[in-house]
Amino acid sequence: MASGGGCDRQAAVRGARRRGAGTNGGAVTDLINPATEEVVASVQATDLAAVDAAIERAHIALAAWREVAPGDRARLLRKFADAVDADLENLARLEVANSGHTIGNARWEAGNVRDLLEYYAAAPERLLGKQIPVAGGIDVTFNEPLGVVGIIVPWNFPMPIAAWGFAPALAAGNTVVLKPAELTPLTAIRLGELALQAGIPADVFQVLPGKGSVVGQRFVTHPAVRKVVFTGSTEVGRQIMAGCAAQIKRVTLELGGKNANVVFADADIEKAAATAPYGVFDNAGQDCCARSRILVQRSVFDRFMELLEPAVQGVVVGDPADDTTEMGPLISASHRSTVAGYIEPSTRVAFRGNAPAGPGFWFPPTVVLPSSPTDRVVAEEVFGPVVTVVPFEDERDAVRIANDTDYGLSGSLWTNDLGRALRVSRALEAGNLSVNSHSSVRYWTPFGGFKQSGLGRELGPDGALAFTEVKNVFIATT
């Protein structure tokens, strides 16, 4: 199994050290290639003293960065985008080696960082205030930067989710301290180096690899950090929200999902079945938007299952550095054990796809017919290539089953009835829905969850506003 070579891993690590991160006594962590179980790099964690020093530097840098003319800030972000574009293949291969992402996905992810920077480069010149008619004077509003923003990134999509935070935050005039996941810091470290090359001042964007209990927790408790952006589990999100409440600190949370893919009898059943595997098994199911519950109208249930089996078995699982691979490994041995734990002795497995033998944290695409809606595999976020399929009777039943979860992040529905598509879309308790598609995220549209899937929205035309405070100023004229 190839290791995704051709990437300058040690250059990425050196880049972090040149930025002053992770050099002050933190433990050294070996990073494991999930496809080969080989060590690809070693990274020193940022200790508490270094975190405090970085936050203080970011706080000092804020005064100058917020005063950079909007056009000049936009030009710097475009230069950053150009630097990412020039390094796109290296970034992609770093992600293959560190995260086990397929090379096709990793190239898209690096391109998404570039596109986000280009998109939000337009924001500094469009953060418009308002002039509000009032008696006795003039009233105007300003969108002021919050200050230092702490961004905590998960291991499943290290590049794009980092950029969802830092691109609009920088555009709005904030400084950023970013903590990548302990398992997957290499692309974030490299992005930090590319920011420097593009002319972003060193203390305006800092990458701090390390433990969540040290780096992430300090973002929550340090008074100079005025907003925390967290993507990860709902359990940790609750803790961060509670911690930020002590300082009335702004917070955006993108948390778990247990998303439904609802297939009605009037849909294109062949297309719905053919695409269903890619709605859940992308990134080996390690995706908060994975459609891990398929709901199929009973009258077409058997036909759907007949079509689904060859589609699942056709998913190409293997070397993530190979252009033909569609699904790679799970992130770690411990996570593979967690996913496997959802397939209990009593679990009815309808069929499985294929997965390589030998080194690597492999798990085959797995389709389950649950016996009860309370089964763990139905109720909990598996975060792996496991999907359940259940029948429903009618539209009302479909909505009831789909909404029977604490989560509300995303979902799909398949129907050729426009009225039904609109009715069901409005009835489903989820923040991001697709009709006859599994698309969840576009950087030019808002993204976020209902219920316990999160708080706030990221991306879209208002993304930069989430990193500002509205200031109202009245000027008396009489």
**What is d(CA 200, CA 122) in angstroms, rounded to the nearest whole number?**
16
288 is catalytic: yes
254, 326, 381, 458: the active-site residue? 254
254 is catalytic: yes
5-21 exposure pattern, b = at least 16 Cβ within 10 A, e = fewer: eebebeebbebbeebbb
DSSP 55-119: HHHHHHHHHHHHTS-HHHHHHHHHHHHHHHHHTHHHHHHHHHHHH---HHHHHHHHHHHHHHHHH
Q: In what order do the strands lie in the sheet with 148-152?
A: 205-207, 175-179, 148-152, 225-231, 250-254, 454-455
Residue 433 near residue 425 (C-beta atoms within 8 A): yes
288, 289, 326, 458: the active-site residue? 288
439-459 exposure pattern, b = at least 16 Cβ within 10 A, e = fewer: ebbebeebbbbbbbbbebbbb
DSSP 236-267: HHHHHHHHHHTTT-EEEEE-----EEEE-TTS
Instruction: Kindly list the catalytic residues.
Output: 254, 288
